[in-house]
A and B are shown apart, each in its own frame.
Chain A
Amino acid sequence: MLKITNLHASVDGTPILKGIDLEVRPGEVHAIMGPNGSGKSTLSQVLAGNDSYEITDGEIILDDQSILEMPTEQRAREGVFLAFQYPVEIPGVSNLQFLRTAMNSIREYRGEEEIDAVSFMKKAKEKIKQVNLDPAFLKRGVNEGFSGGEKKRNEIMQMLMLEPKLAILDETDSGLDIDALKVVADGVNALKSPERSVIMVTHYQRLLDYIVPDYVHVLAKGKIIKSGGKELALELEEKGYGWLGIEDE
């Protein structure tokens, strides 16, 4: 599904990622943990194609093709989804209109017809319930006046609508209370299938109680310094990042 080799990336000339190697196979859930400033969010943004970051070396292969030259929207149409750490507001554009435009852009790329209004509404209502938001949110502007937790749930709602094959969650758990965390986890678990993969970027272990990863990687100073199974996360929780000889800033 996804193969990252020796990935180097910098922003404004400052190197952030310094040689990442990671392979994610279909159906797998990977957690990427690490202290603040380790490059976790940069990795998510680079995978999604944010052009504020410059790739200086390495390769990213998605389903046997390099995506380095692919613009953001094409990566999205190929099935890459990023749940943002800080979702932005788009005033005046309703969630419905936003989702419909997004879905139809993806469908058009795949050579499919536009989704009909009835099936679209049905699906939207079903998914908004799944993330425990009032259906009235569908008509509100994208994230317009939403609370932090509502924004994160809205991200998950978008993910459920678009059904990506690779979902990247960038600190989706940060700032969530336990109920919202469960809603987010339920959403991700509902999406899991043998064909879909998930990368969870997180600072804390607690999300992993609800979404159980197959692999845990520790990222520090732009490199993966340790990989293991789900027990690695528990070990980190217990011993802190200092155990691996790195500081949590």
Chain B
Amino acid sequence: MSESDKSVDELIKSEYKHGFVTDIESDTFEPGLNEDVIRRISARKNEPEWMLEWRLKAYDAWKEMAEPQWAHVKFPQIDFDAISYYSAPKSQENAPKSLDEVDPELLRTYEKLGIPLHERARLAGVAVDVVFDSVSVATTFKDQLAKAGVIFCPISEAIQEHPELVKKYLGKVVAQKDNYYSALNSAVFSDGSFVYIPKGVRCPLELSTYFRINEANTGQFERTLIIADEGSHVSYLEGCTAPMRDENQLHAAVVELVLLDDSEIKYSTVQNWYPGDENGNGGIYNFVTKRANCIGKNSKVSWTQVETGSAITWKYPSCILKGDNSVGEFYSVALTNNFQQADTGTKMIHIGKNTKSTIISKGISAGKSDASYRGLVKFGPNADNARNYTQCDSLLIGDKCGAHTFPYIESKNKTGVIEHEATTSKVSDDQLFLCQQRGMDAERAVSMIVNGFCKEVFKELPMEFAVEATKLLEVSLEGSVG
């Protein structure tokens, strides 16, 4: 083993910093899934009849479906009857009206995670919605947003307060039957965020949601729906963490974005679910369906993701470019270490005329991990003058990891232009030696090189989250070179 491999190994041995468990009393359903469980979830939420019916329809569909096998990941069969589909901190049973009523133990958890709701939100001007296991705990800055006409609330609340919007758009971007996990999510989702930006409004704050899995043996199935009405603009960020546990936990979320004429949504994710230990035990299965539909002309959606966590990531934030002149962007950094596996990428479906898409994907593999980019670019028959630019870069650290690229291109229109560039590189011993000869230790050198590699994506993140992403990358790489 060369010296640099040794340091790669050491870097890899860093510890997950969000791995604590909060000792809090929970109302958790016994494991297992059947119609009764779905009725009980719906009842806990005081849902209207139409919502329950919607869930049951999804459950019926799910029962008939099979798990997808095409992803470049390996894991043992999931026992869906060993998972609990609902968990809520007990103190949430009478949901708090304001932050002051939130259980202090919960607030301390978020402080440990680096999200002191009060200060941080206020300083940063970020409105935060926090989802703990299955329920939404607190939404800050509600009043300020309300003045602008922006609705930002837990989706369970939106179902009660804004049923017309929910009915109109829920499941319209990601159909219940879209895939196995979206059907499951549609049946059992318990909470998530809802955002509505009215016509012509530029959301005055960055909106943000933090997801946290705390209970053992629970799955988290959040549902996010964002609607940008004509000429509106919003920037939204989500962050995710979970305790360290030996068994795998399932996270199957659905995110739907709706964009009307001339609107813009910027959706950023920093995903740091527990990745499992250095021997590949435990960790989150992150099977997520995220899609945006640019219904309106001149609309623009931008997905930026930094994925460092999860044992397995299976995620393709996609853009349906239906409106003429609409624009879809996908910027991704996916880092895998130890035994992590990631199969991630995007789909750009060009339907309208003059639609444009950009894909910048940066995969970093260290340890014994495997990272795959899987992307589809599709030009429909009416997508005149559509354009796509794709750039897929892979960086390998050490010699036991893998990087794969699976690009799919389908064009039914002769006027389109598709460009695809791909590179694979390795952090070389010579680069490390140069950095060390200039005084840096191997860890700092690798982190600097990796950050340089990801620069094009990081610059798309909102400022403070770019800093967070840089730090996260550093932590995730700790011990990966020597």
Bound form: Cα–Cα A109–B438 in Å = 12
Determine if B436 and A91 form an interchain contact, defined as CB atoms under 8 angstroms apart.
no
**Pair count A-B, CB < 8 A:** 77
Determine if B433 and A101 form an interchain contact, defined as CB atoms under 8 angstroms apart.
no
Q: Tell me which of B430, B440, B453 contacts A73 (CB under 8 A).
A: B440
- Known contacts A91-B453, A102-B440, A105-B440; A97/B448 CB under 8 A: yes
Determine if A91 and B3 form an interchain contact, defined as CB atoms under 8 angstroms apart.
no
Interface size, chain A (Cβ < 8 Å): 32
- Known contacts A92-B453, A101-B444; A73/B434 CB under 8 A: no
Residues of B near A77 (CB, < 8 A) are: 439
Q: Tell me which of A82, A94, A142 contacts B437 (CB under 8 A).
A: A82
Given A72-B437, A90-B434, A142-B434, 9 other A-B residues pairs in contact with their CB atoms under 8 A: A73-B439, A73-B441, A82-B437, A92-B453, A92-B455, A101-B444, A102-B438, A102-B439, A105-B438
Residues of A near B448 (CB, < 8 A) are: 93, 97-98, 101
Determine if A105 and B433 form an interchain contact, defined as CB atoms under 8 angstroms apart.
no
Assess whether B34 is interfacial by the CB under 8 Å rule: no
Select from chain B the residue with minimum beta-carbon distance to A158.
Answer: B438
Residues of B near A158 (CB, < 8 A) are: 438
Determine if B437 and A101 form an interchain contact, defined as CB atoms under 8 angstroms apart.
no
Interface size class of B (residues with CB under 8 A): 20 to 34
Chain A: minimal CB distance from B433 (Å) = 6
Chain B interface, DSSP helix/strand/loop, else mixed: helix
Assess whether B449 is interfacial by the CB under 8 Å rule: yes
Residues in A125-145 with C-beta less than 8 Å from chain B: 141-142
- Known contacts A51-B3, A101-B448, A141-B452; A109/B437 CB under 8 A: no
Select from chain A the residue with minimum beta-carbon distance to B454.
Answer: A92
A to B CB contacts below 8 Å, 17 in the list: A48-B433, A71-B436, A73-B440, A76-B437, A77-B439, A84-B437, A88-B430, A90-B452, A91-B453, A92-B453, A92-B455, A98-B435, A102-B438, A105-B440, A105-B441, A142-B434, A162-B439
Residues in B408-437 with C-beta less than 8 Å from chain A: 425, 428-431, 433-437
Central interface residue in B439, B440, B441, B453, by most chain A CB within 10 Å: B439
Determine if B452 and A73 form an interchain contact, defined as CB atoms under 8 angstroms apart.
no
Bound form: Cα–Cα A51–B4 in Å = 10
Determine if B439 and A106 form an interchain contact, defined as CB atoms under 8 angstroms apart.
yes
Chain A: minimal CB distance from B23 (Å) = 38
Bound form: Cα–Cα A38–B439 in Å = 28
Central interface residue in B436, B441, B449, by most chain A CB within 10 Å: B436
Assess whether A65 is interfacial by the CB under 8 Å rule: no
A-to-B contact residues, CB < 8 Å: 48-52, 71-73, 76-77, 81-82, 84, 87-88, 90-94, 97-98, 101-103, 105-106, 109, 141-142, 158, 162
Residues of A near B434 (CB, < 8 A) are: 84, 87-88, 90, 142
Bound form: Cα–Cα A120–B9 in Å = 34
Bound form: Cα–Cα A156–B238 in Å = 45
Bound form: Cα–Cα A51–B482 in Å = 12
Chain B: minimal CB distance from A147 (Å) = 18
Nearest 5 CB-CB pairs, A to B? Answer: A92-B452, A93-B452, A102-B438, A72-B436, A76-B439
Residues of B near A141 (CB, < 8 A) are: 452
Chain A: minimal CB distance from B459 (Å) = 11
Binary flags per residue of B359-401, CB closer than 8 Å to A gives 1, else 0: 0000000000000000000000000000000000000000000
Bound form: Cα–Cα A88–B431 in Å = 6
Chain A: minimal CB distance from B80 (Å) = 43
Chain B: minimal CB distance from A112 (Å) = 12
Select from chain A the residue with minimum beta-carbon distance to B453.
Answer: A92
Residues of A near B455 (CB, < 8 A) are: 92
Residues of B near A103 (CB, < 8 A) are: 439
Bound form: Cα–Cα A82–B434 in Å = 9
Determine if B437 and A48 form an interchain contact, defined as CB atoms under 8 angstroms apart.
yes
Bound form: Cα–Cα A102–B444 in Å = 10
Residues of A near B436 (CB, < 8 A) are: 49, 71-73, 76
Determine if A76 and B3 form an interchain contact, defined as CB atoms under 8 angstroms apart.
no
Chain B: minimal CB distance from A48 (Å) = 5
Residues of B near A105 (CB, < 8 A) are: 438-441, 444
Residues in B428-475 with C-beta less than 8 Å from chain A: 428-431, 433-442, 444, 448-449, 451-455
Select from chain B the residue with minimum beta-carbon distance to A80.
Answer: B437
Residues of A near B449 (CB, < 8 A) are: 90, 92-93
Determine if B439 and A90 form an interchain contact, defined as CB atoms under 8 angstroms apart.
no
